[in-house]
Amino acid sequence: MSTRQHVVEFSKYEAAGNDFIAINRLATVGPPLTPAQLLRMCNRKTGIGADGVIELHGSPAPGCLYSLNYYNSDGNEGSLCGNGSRCSLAFAERSGLVALTSPEQEVTFEACDGVHLGGMLAPGSYYVTIRDVEESGVRVLGGDGDNFFVHNGSPHHVRFVDDVNDVDVVSVGRRLRWELYGQEGANIDFVTCQTSDPCDLDLRTYERGVEDETLACGTGATASSMAAYLRHRSQHDTQERAHENSTVTTCTRVHARGGDLIVSFIYDDGVFRDIRLCGPVNHVFDGRIVV
Ligand SMILES: N[C@H](CCC[C@H](N)C(=O)O)C(=O)O
């Protein structure tokens, strides 16, 4: 079956090197893009090139400015994309949906896992909120205390290693993604605590759906920060454990290969809440492609 070709207008964005094709579906009519078309658009040799596609749609939940669809570069719908969500704010501004003039101004939008807030902290720096995660939702895997699984809108396996620079992220990540998570898969995050400080992390991520290492992963940075908090706490003495049910505010700097992301949250009696992911967003170019 052949589909008629049509022109799609897009903007290209990158968020700490995690790059996206952004399409405003509130403004454009036309048939939905097929997985094959999305795959071709994301191809770095024969298309535009990107880790994924974000689309702004209308008819969102009450109070939301838009609804966000995210597709991985394999052409299939993905789960929550933290960096793509941050890019969607800049794209919403560029598309004239909102003017973010002060850090106090917040946008409410809907993604696949529910409603999120976001805003601009400074020109080129955007944040989004991530849904609350129960401590019991950050599962310790195996006996060494170095492997965790957390679903924070996207599934993440977080593995602490001595030095992320020594890891063959593509081959080890791909093996774990398939051996442990099968067809459905998970994103595999390799993390090093730079010092004994759990608030300073190096991160490299193998992303399912991209099936490659990306230069940064927002939900991966968030998952890694929560796992680092719990790992650090479990490695410390009883005195610290006596406070484990108190409220702790944490701000973690996550160094990805494409730039730094900042994750903040409040750990409050077994729940990670007020989770925010912040970092750079750049508009790269606008274009039109025939698909
Ligand atoms: N790069 C994304 C993660 C996308 C998740 C996707 N790979 C999936 O598992 O569907 C982020 O910034 O959070």
Domain range annotation of the chain: 7-123+282-290, 133-280
Low-confidence ranges of the chain (pLDDT < 70): 1-3, 237-245
| Ligand 1 atom having least distance to the Cα of 186 | 9
Domain 7-123+282-290 shares a fold with domain 133-280 = yes
Looking at the chain, the number of H-run helices and the number of E-run strands are 5, 18
Task: Please state the pTM of the whole predicted model.
Answer: 0.96
Return d(Cα 176, Cα 187) in angstroms, integer: 9
Query: Quick one: residue 183, left, alpha or beta (phi over 0 = left, psi -120 to 50 = alpha)?
Result: alpha
Q: Which atom, in ligand 1's list, is nearest to the CA of 208?
A: 7
Question: What local confidence, expressed as pLDDT, does residue 1 receive?
Answer: 46
- Tell me the best of 154, 204, 261, 262 to mutate to test the pocket of ligand 1, counting ligand atoms within 8 Å of each CB and taking the most: 154
Answer for the pair 125, 137: CB distance below 8 angstroms, yes or no: no
**Catalytic residue list contains 81:** yes
Q: What is the pLDDT of residue 240?
A: 53
**Token pair of 183 as six digits:** 């067809």
ipTM over 0.90: yes
Angle at which helices 218-235 and 82-94 cross, to 10° = 140
Pick 133-280's CATH classification: 3.10.310.10, 3.40.605.10, 3.90.1300.10, 3.40.50.1220. 3.10.310.10
- What's the length of the chain? 291
CATH class of 7-123+282-290: alpha beta
Sign of CA dihedral 19, 151, 225, 208: negative
| Single-letter amino acid code for the residue at 116 | H
Ligand 1: does its nearest atom lie under 6 Å from the Cβ of 207? Answer: yes
Instruction: Give the model confidence (pLDDT) of 229-256 as tens digits.
Output: 999 998 885 445 555 567 999 999 999 9
pLDDT for 238 equals 45
Question: In degrees, to the nearest 5, what angle opens at C-alpha 231 toward C-alphas 227 and 237?
Answer: 150
Q: Nearest 10 degrees: CA dihedral of 226, 230, 233, 235?
A: -120
Please indicate whether residue 187, judged by its CB atom, sits closer than 6 Å to ligand 1: yes
**pLDDT score, position 243:** 54
